[in-house]
């Protein structure tokens, strides 16, 4: 059972939506105005910022790598005192000394790599040329599962922001589809969202992929890596999220998912707070 896709149209982003209204497995809904998801926020205008404040935004979870944040510089929301920025990279960046980034690269969830010139910009993308640490026959699903195995601490930290924020939380990465899609999906599943609705929300980013790529390719950080790649490589296919969900909660059983999160301190009380924050 899918739910509505609530797009939010602003000038400085192209993949912003509210996951509120998605159905839960027990007949309820996810609370509107509580959890937003987006592509990167570097281009927000003054009017965009005013609109986000009007919508009750209090916290932002930035899932980009340390190198991405450093390369793009501080975004406009970092200058606003009324919003808190929480940076939780989904990559283990301890070995990113420059020598570990190969010259042949493509975004992890995409198909075959293309030849790109080695550059500092490529270092901003820690998935470039790296094999996922968790195996799966679907390459995109493998990368999403690797976020859980590589940085469960960041996933738990992001979930806690969602559970404890006073107002709306906006989760974003660069494109707002892979890292953002994984954290938002896990939050929704823990809150009891219907898996089909979670898949539909994830898949909706495909509607905006061409516009997402236009934004990213125009930047010094992402252009050298993403330039020339077809939009088809970056689509958010429903089966990718369906396979992730079946892996982390086979048959709807969240024992395995909660055990992974528990290694970083996530508790049943955390789940209860998350559900209370996200459910009507």
User: Which residues are known catalytic residues?
Assistant: 173
DSSP 109-146: TSSS-EE----TGGGG-TTTTPPPSS--SSHHHHHHHH
Contact (CB, 8 A) for 180 and 171: yes
- With left for phi above 0 and alpha for psi between -120 and 50, is residue 43 left, alpha or beta? alpha
**Residue 172: strand pairing partners:** 38, 62
* Distance separating alpha carbons of residues 278 and 33, to the nearest angstrom: 9
**Contact partners, residue 97, CB within 8 Å, separation at least 6:** none
Buried b (16+ CB within 10 A) or exposed e, 35-46: bbbbbbbbbbee
Q: How far apart are the first and last CA of the chain?
A: 18
Nearest 5°: the CA angle 150, 159, 137 is 40
Contact (CB, 8 A) for 225 and 116: yes
């Amino acid at each position: 059972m899918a739910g509505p896709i609530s797009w939010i149209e602003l000038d400085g982003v192209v993949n912003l939506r509210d996951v509120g209204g998605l159905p839960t497995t027990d007949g309820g809904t996810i609370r509107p105005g509580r959890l937003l998801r987006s592509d990167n926020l570097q281009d927000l205008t003054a009017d965009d910022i005013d609109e986000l404040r009007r919508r009750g935004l209090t916290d932002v979870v930035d899932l980009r790598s340390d190198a991405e944040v450093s390369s793009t510089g501080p975004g406009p929301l970092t200058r606003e005192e009324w919003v808190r920025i929480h940076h939780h990279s989904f990559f283990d960046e301890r070995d990113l000394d420059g020598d570990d980034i190969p010259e042949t690269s493509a975004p992890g969830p995409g198909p075959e790599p293309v030849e790109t010139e080695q550059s500092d910009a490529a270092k901003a993308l820690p998935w470039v040329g790296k094999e996922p640490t968790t195996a799966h026959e679907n390459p995109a699903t493998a990368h999403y599962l690797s976020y859980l195995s590589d940085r469960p601490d960041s996933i738990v930290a992001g979930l806690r922001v969602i559970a404890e924020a006073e107002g709306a939380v906006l989760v974003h990465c660069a494109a707002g589809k892979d890292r953002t899609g994984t954290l938002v999906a896990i939050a929704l599943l823990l809150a009891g969202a219907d898996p089909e609705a979670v898949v539909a929300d994830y898949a909706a980013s495909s509607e905006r992929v061409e516009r997402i790529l236009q934004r990213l390719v125009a930047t010094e950080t992402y252009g050298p890596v993403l330039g020339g790649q077809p939009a088809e490589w970056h689509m958010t296919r429903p089966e990718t999220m369906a396979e992730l969900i079946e892996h982390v909660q086979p048959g709807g059983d969240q024992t395995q998912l909660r055990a992974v999160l528990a290694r970083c301190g996530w508790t049943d009380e955390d789940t209860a707070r998350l559900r209370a924050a996200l459910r009507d």
